[in-house]
Chains A and B, each alone.
Chain A
Amino acid sequence: TQLLEQSPQFLSIQEGENLTVYCNSSSVFSSLQWYRQEPGEGPVLLVTVVTGGEVKKLKRLTFQFGDARKDSSLHITAAQPGDTGLYLCAGAWGSNYKLTFGKGTLLTVNP
């Protein structure tokens, strides 16, 4: 079983601050996805990265995939209360279809 670690587990910040969330594995990902989950809802896909060194931007969110494809980060600039939620990374290894989810980072952005 592949393990995927996310950090930090909890993050509480003030509106306007920046933050970074990390996702790591000891094995090389074939692909990695970031999801956001709001209370009472299922996760919603934010981005998929497949190429080492890849950087993707989604408004104030910047996603990076490590050169070695073993780690990824999610950076939020000028966080807003609407960014509050559980951020999950999910990885696939080799030709496996199966996604393994991390435990998530619970982000709270206070007004």
Chain B
Amino acid sequence: EAGVVQSPRYKIIEKKQPVAFWCNPISGHNTLYWYRQNLGQGPELLIRYENEEAVDDSQLPKDRFSAERLKGVDSTLKIQPAELGDSAVYLCASSLGRFGNNEQFFGPGTRLTVL
């Protein structure tokens, strides 16, 4: 069974440019998460979806970040315009349940470099 798929794996852009990341979760997983992981840090939650509904986006910088999960399956995370401080690894994860003791399955991440 395929795991969480993310693309692209790497992205280099200049500041002020837009960028988008795509995630395909494990089949049947209704809960989807986007995390940001800065160098030397643990992942930090940006947004959580239950099916197509964003139920927690409190950590998402809404002035420049947006996300969608059409039809409750694939998801995209967009940054427009990107800033130097957005350089990080963006991880997507999915789980069967929504509570903290459920296993989250992570994709390999997209490493974003903003020049």
Contact = CB atoms under 8 A, between A and B. Distances in A.
Interface of A: 30-31, 33, 40-45, 48, 50, 88, 90-93, 95-99, 101-104
A30 B42 contact: no
A98 B42 contact: no
B69 interface: no
Nearest to B38: A103
Contacts of B44: 101
B108 A103 contact: no
Nearest to A89: B42
Contacts of B43: 43, 88, 101
Contact of B101 (A30, A40, A101, A103): A30
A104 B45 CA distance: 15
B91 A42 contact: yes
| Interface size grouping (class) on chain B | 20 to 34
Contacts of B108: 40-42
Contact of B42 (A41, A88, A95): A88
Interface of B: 4, 40-45, 48, 56, 91, 93, 98-101, 103-109
A65 to B, nearest CB: 12
B4 A30 contact: no
B98 to A, nearest CB: 5
A48 B43 CA distance: 17
Given A40-B108, A43-B106, 4 more contacts: A91-B100, A92-B101, A98-B45, A103-B42
A99 B91 contact: no
Nearest to A49: B101
Nearest to B4: A42
Contacts of B104: 43, 45, 99
Closest 3 pairs (CB-CB, A-B): A92-B100, A42-B106, A101-B42
Contacts of B98: 97
A105 to B, nearest CB: 10
A99 B109 contact: no
A4 to B, nearest CB: 8
Nearest to B55: A97
